[in-house]
A and B are shown apart, each in its own frame.
Chain A
Amino acid sequence: MRALTFQGTHDVRVETVPDPEIVNPRDAIIEITSTAICGSDLHLYAGVIPGLQKGDILGHEFMGRVVDVGPGSSLRKGDRVVVPFTISCGGCFFCQLGQFSACDNSNPVEKQDASEAVYGHAVSGLFGFSHMTGGYPGGQAQYARVPFSDVGPIVVPDGVPDEQVLFLSDILPTGWMAAENAQIQPGDTVAVWGCGPVGLFAVQSALIMGAGRVIAIDHHPHRLDLARGLGAEVIDYTQTHVLEALMEMSGGIGPDAVIDAVGMESHGFAPDNVLDTLKQKVLPGTDRGHVLRMALMAVRKGGRVSIPGVYGGMVDKFPMGALMQKGVEVRTGQTHVQRYTRDLLNRIMEGQIDTTFLISHRLPLEEAAEGYRNFRDNQNEWTKVVLKP
């Protein structure tokens, strides 16, 4: 089959690799009909995530048709499914609690040592990501092997187009969980850093959950327009002092909840970020925490901080004093995708949520490398790339 493979920093190529097959009893093989490039793929592309190897197949947002099943799968050949990026067994302590992205049994044993050393506990398996998260071949390919296919994939009806449901695989539930983690009360003011896909879906979700005002922060005019279109007010950080603006826009109180939908590669020329950028180029595992620092400074006393943005290593100059002295609550984590897919599919089918506004470009899989380059370099126009294998 053809698949997009990682070759090195800013170097991805579509190559011919062996087709996947059923390996474990609960597996299914999916013939992929649509797959997207995620913002977190850009972290892999930039080489800032440790544990990626040359030749790894990337991609963790995909959907398609079931073409083969193991004896333990509940799917049938021909089923049309969206596949969550988190791989979860459904039976362990964490899955039973609904904490699917903390699954104990999806990361192969020999790959658990690294995260056990770095994070204190082994993390669960993810598609198309680092070998720390299992090194599972991803979905920017013609076919994918899906383990625990009786737990993860959600069957979608035939009538609905791919583009309306594809984002159930990651960014829609991630934006939704980000808003849920912000514990929004009716009338709250919520600030969202980053108007990428997750930030925009967090804006949309926060408004559905009853936020009075959502203030979105970015620097790309088109992305700010998309946020405005969803009902947010916007701040362009290249024009405005963000902290001062947030205080003034919230009557001197500060936002009740803040959402960092940027993560470890924040942009801009603030002094801390310039220093972090230099350090990140020299030392693996050092994250750029500028947005997180600002979010902690901005949030009101006793407010909530939600972090859907991806971090992988250490952040220094962390305003621990602000966190403690203001009595702030922090919630974060990889998305428990399987917890949200059914409810969100219903909301899509009822017309409450539309995700297609996000898609700016559709490319054949063969042109995936161009998609990566533009998604990184032309972020204003390239808001979301969907690949067709």
Chain B
Amino acid sequence: MTRSPTTRSSTTRSSTRIAVPLALAGAAVALYYLSQQSRAGHPPDSAPGRTARQSWFGDYKVAGRSVTIAAPRQELFQRWTDPSALAGFMENVRSVEEGPDGTWRWVVAGPAGTEVKLVTRVVEARKGEFLAWRSVAGSEIEAEGKVFFHDAPAGRGTVVEAIIAYQPPGGTIGHWIAKAFRADPRLQGRHELKRLKMLVETGEIATSANRREERT
């Protein structure tokens, strides 16, 4: 089921119609397995599934990260669901726009200066609490994700937990190439959550650049 951005253009419409739901079913299975993982003879522990020693689930990689931000859940949820706010902290997002059919069309930086197109649809949302999305027809990668917003303990604000299950273009090799070029979703996700935290808590994103044009 693995497809790379280069083969994507040759895929016909009809095969896309079959391929996308199949891939999404795969991602759903991966996320399910993740929640059920346990070693034979060992009962499941309390740790989140993404910290399991197993890192591939079928064709899928799963990455996730949580960050605590000193702000209320509603405010963070709102930022996460506003396309113009997203580009402010997601550095690898070249552009994101909302289509008339309710899908979001993303252009995301891939390894070595490439670009990856992603079309997503929100499949479930509970305001201020939870958001689930998945890729739909027109995407060059298969992915689905969930974002949870919980109250942090002791009045520390909100724990934002973002999880993504995706098929790295090019399978294992593609994954390592992406990692080498720092376009790995695990790393990107970690960076983006930290940027969101900076933006919300300080009003700016820290940089050591001494001049505006040096800012990366």
> CB within 8 Å of B: which residues of A?
18-21, 23-26, 72, 89, 91-93, 96, 104-113, 125, 134-137, 145, 147-148
Bound Cα distance from A256 to B162, whole angstroms: 49
B6 on interface, CB distance cutoff 8 Å: no
Bound Cα distance from A144 to B187, whole angstroms: 31
Residues of chain B within 8 A of A105, CB atoms compared: 197-198, 201-202, 206
Cβ–Cβ contact B194 & A89, under 8 A = no
Cβ–Cβ contact B198 & A21, under 8 A = no
Chain B 174-216 interface mask (CB, 8 Å, partner A; 1/0): 0000000000000100010011011001111111111110011
Chain A residue, CB-CB nearest to B89: A109
Cβ–Cβ contact B207 & A108, under 8 A = yes
Bound Cα distance from A355 to B10, whole angstroms: 74
- New A-B pairs, 17, CB < 8 Å, besides A23-B211, A109-B194: A20-B210, A21-B210, A21-B211, A23-B207, A24-B205, A26-B202, A92-B70, A92-B202, A93-B70, A96-B70, A104-B197, A105-B202, A105-B206, A108-B206, A108-B208, A135-B208, A137-B208
Would A109 and B205 be within 8 Å (CB), given that A21-B211, A104-B197 are in contact?
A: yes
Cβ–Cβ contact B202 & A111, under 8 A = no
Bound Cα distance from A242 to B134, whole angstroms: 67
Bound Cα distance from A258 to B212, whole angstroms: 46
Cβ–Cβ contact B206 & A145, under 8 A = no
Residue in contact with A93 in the complex, picked from B68, B187, B211, B216, CB distance below 8 Å = B68
Residues of chain B within 8 A of A23, CB atoms compared: 207, 209-212, 215
Residues of chain A within 8 A of B187, CB atoms compared: 113
Cβ–Cβ contact B206 & A125, under 8 A = yes
B156 on interface, CB distance cutoff 8 Å: yes
Task: Tell me the interface secondary structure of chain A in the complex.
Answer: loop
Bound Cα distance from A89 to B69, whole angstroms: 14
The 5 closest A-B pairs by CB, nearest first: A20-B210, A24-B204, A89-B202, A136-B208, A109-B194
Residues of chain A within 8 A of B156, CB atoms compared: 93
> Which interface residue of A19, A24, A125, A135 has the most chain B CB atoms within 10 A?
A24
Chain A residue, CB-CB nearest to B215: A23
Residues of chain A within 8 A of B210, CB atoms compared: 18, 20-21, 23, 137, 145
Cβ–Cβ contact B208 & A109, under 8 A = no
Q: What are 11 A-B pairs with beta-carbon distances under 8 A?
A: A19-B211, A25-B204, A26-B202, A89-B198, A89-B206, A91-B202, A92-B197, A105-B197, A134-B206, A135-B208, A137-B208
The number of chain B residues touching the other chain, given as a range, is 20 to 34
CB distance from A174 to the nearest CB of B (A): 22
Cβ–Cβ contact B208 & A111, under 8 A = yes
CB distance from B151 to the nearest CB of A (A): 14
Would A72 and B205 be within 8 Å (CB), given that A18-B210, A23-B210, A109-B194 are in contact?
A: no
CB distance from B210 to the nearest CB of A (A): 4
Chain B residue, CB-CB nearest to A18: B211
Chain A residue, CB-CB nearest to B67: A104
Residues of chain A within 8 A of B198, CB atoms compared: 89, 105, 109
Residue in contact with A89 in the complex, picked from B191, B195, B201, B211, CB distance below 8 Å = B201
Residues of chain B within 8 A of A111, CB atoms compared: 208
CB distance from A64 to the nearest CB of B (A): 16
Bound Cα distance from A369 to B124, whole angstroms: 62
CB distance from A160 to the nearest CB of B (A): 29
Chain B residue, CB-CB nearest to A29: B210
Bound Cα distance from A108 to B210, whole angstroms: 13
Chain B residue, CB-CB nearest to A21: B211
Chain B residue, CB-CB nearest to A91: B201
Cβ–Cβ contact A25 & B203, under 8 A = yes
CB distance from A225 to the nearest CB of B (A): 40
Cβ–Cβ contact A20 & B208, under 8 A = no
> Which interface residue of B156, B197, B204 has the most chain A CB atoms within 10 A?
B204
Residues of chain B within 8 A of A107, CB atoms compared: 206
Chain A residue, CB-CB nearest to B68: A93
CB distance from A158 to the nearest CB of B (A): 28
Cβ–Cβ contact B201 & A21, under 8 A = no
CB distance from A296 to the nearest CB of B (A): 34
Cβ–Cβ contact B203 & A110, under 8 A = no
Bound Cα distance from A147 to B203, whole angstroms: 12
Bound Cα distance from A106 to B201, whole angstroms: 11
Cβ–Cβ contact B191 & A21, under 8 A = no
Cβ–Cβ contact B194 & A72, under 8 A = no
Bound Cα distance from A104 to B199, whole angstroms: 12
Bound Cα distance from A91 to B208, whole angstroms: 19
Chain B residue, CB-CB nearest to A22: B212
Would A110 and B212 be within 8 Å (CB), given that A24-B207, A93-B70 are in contact?
A: no
Cβ–Cβ contact B203 & A26, under 8 A = yes
Chain B 146-173 interface mask (CB, 8 Å, partner A; 1/0): 0000000000100000000000000000
CB distance from B24 to the nearest CB of A (A): 31
